[in-house]
Amino acid sequence: MTEMVHGSMPARVAEPVLPRWWRTIDKWTLTAILVLFAIGLLLGLAASVPLAERNGLDPYHYVQRQAVFGALAMVAMVAFSMMSPEMVRRIGVIGFLLSFLSLVLLPAFGTDFGKGAVRWFSLGFASFQPSEFLKPGFIVVTAWLIAASGDLNGPPGKAISFGLCVSIVLMLALQPDFGQAMLVLFGWGVIYFVAGAPMLLLASVIAAFSMGGVFAYNASEHVARRINGYLASEVDPRSQIGYATNAIQEGGFFGVGVGEGQVKWTLPDAHTDFIIAVAAEEYGLILVLIILALYAAIVVRSLYRLTRERDPFTRLAGTGLACVFGVQAMINMGVAVRLLPAKGMTLPFVSYGGSSVIAAGITVGMLLAMTRTRPQGQFGDIFGRRGR
C-alpha cells in the first residue's frame, strides 16, 4: 500500500570494494610502505651481488627472489587491508594457532642453517621462520583477549594473554632468539599499557625481564659474547659491528657513490641485518634519514588515526601492530650504529628475506585495515554492545 501511494523506495547501491578501499585507506602510510619496498630493492641490487658471487649464483639471484617475496608481501598487504577488523581478528587467530604450533615443533623439525639458532623450517626451495608470522597473530590475539576482558562476564583475557606471552618468550629464548622474544614481550606490554594496566604490574614485568636478561648473559655464551662486544670500549674492526660502523663513517653525508661501497664484500649479513650500513656507505646520511622518516611516518600516522577509533579491539590491535613494526626497525638500525647489542633482526621491507618480508606485508596490511576510515557510531552504541 505504501508503495502504491509514495512509490517504491530506491535501493541503495553498494559501493564497489576497490573504490571503497581506496577512499578509506590511509594513502600516506601506503605510499611510505611502497617507497620502503622500492628502497629495499635498490639496496638489494648493491648488497646481494657479492653474496650471489660467493655462492656461485647469478649476480641478481637474490634481488629476483626479493622481488618475488615482495610481490607476495604486497598482495598480502592489500588483501588484509581490504578486510574488516572482525575478519582480521578471525584470520589472525587462525594464523596465530598455526604459527604457535610451528614454534612448538621447531626444535624437532627445524634447522639452524649453521647459525647456531634453530629458527627455520627448511622447505628445500625456501625456508620458513615461524616467529616472523607469530608476531602479528599474537598482537591480534592479545588485543582480542584484553578487549574482551573489559566486557561484562568477559574472559580473564589479561591473564590468558600474559600466559601466552610467557610461553612464547620462553620458546624463543631456547632457540635462542632473544630479539624476537623481546618484540613479543614489548607488543604485549604496549597493548596492556594502552588498555590501562597498573604501572606496578608493568614495572614487575620489566624487572622480571631484566632478571631474565641477566640469567641469559650468565647461561649463554652466545648472549654474553654479544653483550661484551657491545659494552667494549673499542670495537673489533673485524667484527660485523666494526665493519658496519666503518661503512657508516665512510659514507658521510652524501655517500661514496652507487656501487662504490666496500662493506657488502666483507660483511656476511650486509643484505639482511646490516642493510642500513650499505645504505649509509653508498648513499650517505641523506638516504638513512629518508628511511627513518618513512618508518616514523607509518607509525605516527597510524597512531594518530587510531586515536579516533572507538572500538577497543581495533584500537589495541592497531597500536600493537604499529609499535612492534616501528620498534623492529629501530632495533635493526640501532644495532648498526652500536646503540644496541646485536640482535639478528631484519629491517622491515628493506632487508632481504622471504619470511620477514611477507610477514611485514601481513603486519602492515592488518595495520592498514585497522586505520581505515569507517563510521564510528556513538559511544552509547559501544556500551550497548557490552551490555548484550
Task: Name the residue among 47, 128, 132 with its Cα closest to residue 346.
Answer: 132
Mean pLDDT for the chain?
85
Tally of domains in the chain: 1
Q: Show the domain range for 40.
A: 26-372
Q: Is residue 326 part of a domain?
A: yes
Q: Is residue 303 part of a domain?
A: yes
The CA distance from 241 to 347, in Å, is 16
pLDDT at residue 113 in the model: 79
Band the pLDDT of 368: cuts 50, 70, 90. very high
Q: What is the pLDDT of residues 46-97, one digit of tens each?
A: 888 888 888 888 888 888 999 999 999 999 999 999 999 999 999 999 999 9
Classify the C-alpha dihedral 360-328-325-136 as positive or negative: positive
Least confidently predicted of 113-127, 145-159, 187-201, 280-294:
113-127
Q: Is residue 95 part of a domain?
A: yes
Q: Is residue 73 part of a domain?
A: yes
Q: Is residue 349 part of a domain?
A: yes
Whole-prediction pTM: 0.88
Q: Helices 275-306 and 27-47, interaxial angle, to 10°?
A: 170
Contacts of residues 175-178 at CB distance under 8 Å and 24 or more positions apart, as own/partner, are: 175/106, 175/117, 175/118, 175/119, 176/117, 176/216, 176/220, 176/222, 176/223, 177/117, 177/119, 177/131, 177/344, 178/213, 178/216, 178/223, 178/343
Do the Cβ atoms of 245 and 338 come closer than 8 Å?
Answer: yes
**Residue 246 burial (CB count, 10 A):** 18
Q: Cell numbers of 234, please?
A: 673499542
Q: Cell numbers of 43, please?
A: 639496496
Task: Name the residue among 295, 296, 293 with its Cα closest to residue 351.
Answer: 295
pLDDT at residue 222 in the model: 66
pLDDT at residue 383 in the model: 42
Q: What is the pLDDT of residues 232-281, one digit of tens each?
A: 667 666 677 788 888 888 888 888 888 788 888 887 777 888 899 999 99
Q: Is residue 227 part of a domain?
A: yes
Q: Is residue 208 part of a domain?
A: yes
Q: What is the pLDDT of residues 338-352, one digit of tens each?
A: 888 877 789 999 998
How many residues can be counted in the chain? 388
Q: What are phi and psi of 175, to 5 degrees?
A: -65, -50
Do the Cβ atoms of 135 and 145 come closer than 8 Å?
Answer: no
Q: Is residue 8 part of a domain?
A: no
Q: By CB neighbour count within 10 A (0-12 exposed, 13-18 middle, 19+ buried), where does 6 fall?
A: exposed
pLDDT at residue 111 in the model: 87
Mean pLDDT, residues 369-376 taken together: 86
pLDDT of 213 above 50: yes
The CA distance from 195 to 173, in Å, is 27
Q: What is the pLDDT of residues 89-118, one digit of tens each?
A: 999 999 999 999 999 999 888 888 777 778
Query: What type of residue is 112?
Result: D
